[in-house]
Amino acid sequence: MKLITRIKEMQHFISEEKRSGKKVGFVPTMGYLHEGHLSLMKRAKKESDVIVVSIFVNPLQFGPNEDFDRYPRDLERDKQLALEAGADVLFFPDTKEMYPDEPVVTVSVNKRVDALCGESRVGHFDGVATVLTKLFHIVSPDYAYFGLKDAQQVAVVQGLVDDFNFPVKVIGCETKRESDGLAMSSRNVYLTEIERKEASHLSQSLLKAKNWLLDGDSGETEQKMIKYLEEHTSGFVEYSKILSYPELLPPSKKSKKLIIAVAVKFSKARLIDNIIIDNILTRQESGEETCSVH
């Protein structure tokens, strides 16, 4: 596995690989890799010839008082994990390499950011879209892999690719979970022992919400989720939402899919989780009683 830290070297390497007809799979990360990241690499390995993993803790997507300086970092550990997962290249630029000067141009996201995490993290997805615009130009991937744990990010990235005509296919991959259902995240290390036990209730609240929707409680489900989480965790429930996906708008019978999403702030970690399901409103109208979860 090659470790590349310079943009020009990365571009030269990719140019040579693509000249020989190879397909490039790309997994952008902020490091401190876990099984969720590794599952993206393993899928990329099945579908691409060259696997590029980037590690860059992007300062543009952290707001004031967020955890940029505390964000966990361990390059040697990440190198070993990426190697074992089949990565061919680890692209590890520093901040000066990615942003040598204050940017003249950044990307502004206009839709799909006025709900869920985007509602409270103003500018966060502008930072995500800006760094991915750079990375897509640097790596020139054919396929880019993202975990659906952050389904809002996947929706924004798909919009970025569609609007800017990037020749890359965005592939959203199923959330990897611990044995008790907790979505894997680099921030889970910040949970106390008690909070770690409580955190499993995030995924349980989503499954309960799906069943409440199936029972016809669409008008009460969000509040019932909040009540459940307040009773079973010590964290602050930032939101519990049911929206259309990927539009992230109030759902209607025309919505093809729905997202059920939650965010809970514990003492030192903010956790998010979601499930994406076929539109239950449509299914109820047609008399069906089941839905699929993605």
114 is in an annotated binding site: no
137 is in an annotated binding site: no
Looking up residue 85, the CATH number of its domain turns out to be 3.40.50.620
Q: 157 and 226 share a domain?
A: no
Task: Select from 173, 203, 221 the last residue of a domain.
Answer: 173
Let me know if residue 211 belongs to a domain. Answer: yes
61 is in an annotated binding site: yes
What pLDDT score does 294 carry?
43
Q: Provide the Cα torsion 159, 43, 67, 196; round to 10°.
A: 120
- The model's confidence at residue 218, banded by pLDDT at 50, 70 and 90, is low
In degrees, to the nearest 5, what angle opens at C-alpha 106 toward C-alphas 274 and 248?
A: 25
Q: 35 and 95 share a domain?
A: yes
Q: 163 and 240 share a domain?
A: no
Q: 144 and 213 share a domain?
A: no
135 is in an annotated binding site: no
Q: 78 and 168 share a domain?
A: yes
* Rounded Cα distance, 193 and 282, in Å: 42
Q: 210 and 156 share a domain?
A: no
Task: Select from 115, 145, 173 the last residue of a domain.
Answer: 173
Let me know if residue 8 belongs to a domain. Answer: yes
* Rounded Cα distance, 82 and 74, in Å: 12
What pLDDT score does 214 carry?
86
pLDDT over 70, % of the chain:
95
The pLDDT tens digits of the residues spanning 54-113 come to 999 999 999 887 888 888 899 999 999 999 999 999 999 999 999 999 999 999 999 999
Other Cβ atoms closer than 10 A to 162: 10
Q: 131 and 209 share a domain?
A: no
Let me know if residue 291 belongs to a domain. Answer: no
Q: 151 and 248 share a domain?
A: no
Q: Where are the alpha helices (DSSP H) in 48-178?
A: 75-84, 95-98, 116-120, 124-139, 151-164
In degrees, to the nearest 5, what angle opens at C-alpha 191 toward C-alphas 57 and 228?
A: 115
The pLDDT tens digits of the residues spanning 125-135 come to 999 999 999 99
Is the confidence at residue 284, as pLDDT, over 80? Answer: no
Q: 112 and 12 share a domain?
A: yes
DSSP code, position 234: S
Q: 145 and 37 share a domain?
A: yes
Q: And the tokens for 136?
A: 């897509």
Which DSSP string corresponds to 148-214? GGGHHHHHHHHHHHHHHT-S-EEEEEPPPB-TTSPBP-GGGGGS-HHHHHHTTHHHHHHHHHHHHHH
Which has the closest alpha carbon to 24: 74, 76, 91, 80?
91
Let me know if residue 146 belongs to a domain. Answer: yes
30 is in an annotated binding site: yes
Which has the closest alpha carbon to 177: 166, 168, 188?
188
Determine the structural domain holding residue 205 and report its residue range: 186-286
- Determine contact, residues 205/240, Cβ cutoff 8 Å: yes
pLDDT over 90, % of the chain:
87
Q: 58 and 128 share a domain?
A: yes
What is the number of domains present in the chain? 2
Looking up residue 209, the CATH number of its domain turns out to be 3.30.1300.10
Task: Select from 110, 140, 173 the last residue of a domain.
Answer: 173
What pLDDT score does 282 carry?
62
Let me know if residue 293 belongs to a domain. Answer: no
Q: 55 and 160 share a domain?
A: yes
- Whether 37 is catalytic: yes
- Catalytic, out of 37, 201, 232, 294: 37
Let me know if residue 190 belongs to a domain. Answer: yes
